[in-house]
Structure 1
Amino acid sequence: MSAPEHRLIAKTGSPEQLVQSDRVDVSLYHDPALFEAELEKIFYRTWVWVAHVSEVRNPGDFKTTMIGRRPVIVVRDKKGAINVLENRCRHRGATVCEKHKGNATGFTCPYHSWSYGLDGKLRALPYPDGYEDILDKAELPLTSLRVESYAGMIFASYDADIEPLEDFLGGAKHWMDLFMKQGAGFPIKVQGEHKFTFRGNWKIQLENTTDGYHFPIVHKSWMSSVDDETSEMLSFMTDPQAVTHALGNGHSVMVMVPEHVDLDHDDGTEQLQERFAHVTEELSRTMEPAQVRRIVRSLHGAGFNLNLFPNVAMSMSFFRVLRPVSVTETEIRHVALGMDGGPEIANRERLRIHEHFQGPFGFGSPDDAEAWDRVQRGSYAGPEAPILVNRGLNREVLAENGDKVSHATDEGGMREAYQMWKRMMSQ
């Protein structure tokens, strides 16, 4: 038994004790031993989202990111394959790339100039005369992770023997396919991102994406800032068609705008929002009415939030990516999406919508971050006050496909995530 695991059991109890069907222990938010175990048992053993295919479109395109504390490079090589390489020179451990994104022919360590190809192979090192008969370049490539993708979403894992990605995603694949329909016939692309940190545990944010209960309360200021049509569209609190599905393996989806779940389905009765009249007018000059309508209806994105355990949400019209920094600090990236090859006016409008809610000066992000910060502070009150995730247990039903379904304001998505947490932490 490793030292972190020993401390976990001694200090906080077993995962089965910490996570029950309707509540979780507050130590999940602030126990350092638990956090260290989470990195090893969850983030370094499962599929973690690292990039969207549009970010590494061409040979040499790369982005740097993190899996837990470990820096990695996502890069497309000259043969078109996507590699995820540990951003750590095999000589003395320095990072070989510090740029967030770009295009490169390879990566060279700034410390001793060991250079690596886009496939991670060690290509050359200076003054090789000191290494005769003691170093074989073929044995020292950058550490390569297992990589698979679905619906343009690229995932990586440190576990070479992990189950196939599609098996891990399971019922979430259907919703990923629906999410990508917001391209209105065009592929989805990343338009930009911003990041911030909040003073709280990563699971506090994980809970948030399919928590419809908080929306009209925490985001009351945003609701008052938008037009009546947008406000009405997101008034799902009493809509019986607004539901949450627990999808298995920690994944969940919350439907907020049922009529926009499948954007290919349009019965023609929905009136296009007046606020987008300028978009409709410009697009109508060069496009057929049906295509104009398809694009304008999709400006707000899909009608749901999809949470993929453990680190990415496909949330209506953007990606929200979490990274655990420490037990009480989490980095969040909000990634704006657009139509790859779609009309520029529509992509600009999507950016303005993103900025209004998710942007650094938007309404949504500061409100959420304040709530998360308060949850973290309140978690120190004492173990006799557990975190409740029991809303909707009395009306949760089992669908024919095995999903656990309850209302969008219920906490079925949280229960699903914590059951996956318990399963992985018990291994």
Structure 2
Amino acid sequence: MTILPDPASLVNEDRADGSIYSNPDLYTMEMDRIFMHNWIWVAHRSDLPDPGSFITTFIGQHPVIVSRDRKGEVHVLLNRCRHRGATVCEHKRGKAASFVCPYHGWAYGQDGALRGVPFQEGYSGQLDKSKHPLVSLRVEEYNGLIFATFDPDIMPLTDWLGRAKVWIDLFMKQGAGWPVKTMGEHKFTFPGNWKIQLENTTDAYHFPIVHKSFLDSVDNETQTIFDFVEGEGYVEDLGNGHSVMVMIPDLVDLEDNLDAPIPARFEALAEALSKDYPPEQVRRIVRAVGGSGFNLNLYPNLACSMAFFRVLRPLAATETEIRHIAIGMDGGPDIANEVRLRLHEHFQGPMGFGTPDDSEAWDRVQRGALAGYNIDILLNRGLGHEARRENGNLFSDVSAETGMRAAYRQWLADMTRTTDAEECA
């Protein structure tokens, strides 16, 4: 009989045992209790622009297809033929009328229904196609963000997102009046646990240290904007593991303060836009190009991070895949989207200043946490002056670890929940 780790003994309000980054048995529990029983982000609406559009991705360890059928409905389907288990789609994205297993040719519609079986007469009437569709997961959408879950009894997505919804709405104002769209991505892995990256999204404390090379690469005006550790920003617990880190309060709502001076680095863009757009719309576009002034962590796998989506996928206890997805204005001016891409490349790109430095830090956390035994990871920064808003949200200064505590509070709730399989054991 396998003795499972006791999560309650590993995580407290202000600290965690270092083994949470490396214990393979704990990782196996996480894949079940967290990634099988929560809403997991799988796609953005713009990834499925037309009937027949699809992408392939993962929910924890499970390969899935996210597709839009002929009626426009979105489906999240397990990428597994119901005959012998082969994947029925290996393309990352595209358009398809059906998904066909390469092993025996079973064909499935965009909604997962089994449409065709070669040489069906060999089953002598013992095969009912209606009983063997691709397994379909529960799927819901909020403001363009598509989530799926294995758990049929989970609360509605809008309830799960809760107080994070207002921040999603603010983040989507980067469309400057147009819908937001994805504009490509880059993907990489780092040799570390997924929770190391989860912590990073609301960690302002590291920014002036880890990202000094980035700060040295920008003009003085931009340096001042990103000098936020001692500023008026804050980190706030939004419930259900979600949190927000406000770094630049003036850029929380991109539709506010449109009369503010255009930053010098965007003056050339504003001049070019002024040939086709009125002054107020030019200012709105320029503010959107610069991105939002906050990072929103949607537990457990999505960050709406200033001006891009960061998606984590656990691969093993000590390996994680990260996707950085650039976003822009769907129908907006090409020149503005091009500037957004250049800004994305400057920090998040594989040759940029931010991602390589972050990855090195995550790698070193993983390696260092293996040293010694019973040595805690500290999560107590800002705890001494954490306060509660009228709506119940806990918050503290921008360099506080309030967001990490929010995530681990939900992690602990998930990990100490008894699953149906364990109740039957």
- Check if 1:258 corresponds to 2:254: no
Aligned partners of 2:236, 2:243: CA distance in 1, in Å?
Answer: 6
Normalising by structure 1, report the TM-score.
0.96
Aligned positions of 1:175-190 closer than 5 A: 175-190=167-182
Q: Percent identity?
A: 59
Contact 1:62/1:103 (8 A) holds in 2: yes
Aligned partners of 1:346, 1:272: CA distance in 2, in Å?
Answer: 14
Aligned to 1:247: 238
Aligned partners of 2:3, 2:209: CA distance in 1, in Å?
Answer: 39
Deviations 1:5-33 (A, max 9, x none): x4323xxxx22211101001111100000
Aligned partners of 1:320, 1:383: CA distance in 2, in Å?
Answer: 32
Aligned to 2:67: 75
Aligned to 1:20: 12
- Check if 1:273 corresponds to 2:263: yes
Deviations 1:363-394 (A, max 9, x none): 11110000000000011112332100000001
Which residue identity is paired with 1:325?
L
Contact 1:26/1:382 (8 A) holds in 2: no
Deviations 1:97-128 (A, max 9, x none): 00000001010000100000000000001011
Aligned to 1:7: 3
- Structure 1: gaps (5+ residues): none
Which residue identity is paired with 1:246?
D
Instruction: Give the superposition deviation at 1:272.
Output: 1.1
Instruction: Give the superposition deviation at 1:285.
Output: 0.8
Runs of 4+, deviation exceeding 6 Å: none
- Check if 1:398 corresponds to 2:394: no
Deviating more after overlay: 291-300 vs 270-279: 270-279
Aligned positions of 1:298-377 closer than 5 A: 298-377=288-367
Aligned to 2:117: 125
Q: Note the aligned Cα RMSD (angstroms).
A: 0.9
Instruction: Choose which of 30, 34, 59 in structure 1 pairs with 2:22.
Output: 30
Aligned partners of 2:120, 2:172: CA distance in 1, in Å?
Answer: 50
Contact 1:328/1:376 (8 A) holds in 2: yes
Instruction: Give the superposition deviation at 1:191.
Output: 0.4
SS in 1 for 2:3: helix
- Structure 2: gaps (5+ residues): 418-425
Aligned partners of 1:118, 1:344: CA distance in 2, in Å?
Answer: 32
Instruction: Give the superposition deviation at 1:129.
Output: 1.3
Instruction: Give the superposition deviation at 1:267.
Output: 5.6
Normalising by structure 2, report the TM-score.
0.97
Aligned to 2:154: 162
Instruction: Choose which of 410, 421, 424 in structure 1 pairs with 2:400.
Output: 410
Which residue identity is paired with 1:258?
P
Contact 2:258/2:280 (8 A) holds in 1: no
Instruction: Give the superposition deviation at 1:69.
Output: 1.1
Aligned partners of 1:227, 1:134: CA distance in 2, in Å?
Answer: 71
Aligned partners of 1:305, 1:369: CA distance in 2, in Å?
Answer: 18
Which residue identity is paired with 2:198?
L
Aligned partners of 1:256, 1:272: CA distance in 2, in Å?
Answer: 19
SS in 2 for 1:402: coil
- Check if 1:112 corresponds to 2:108: no
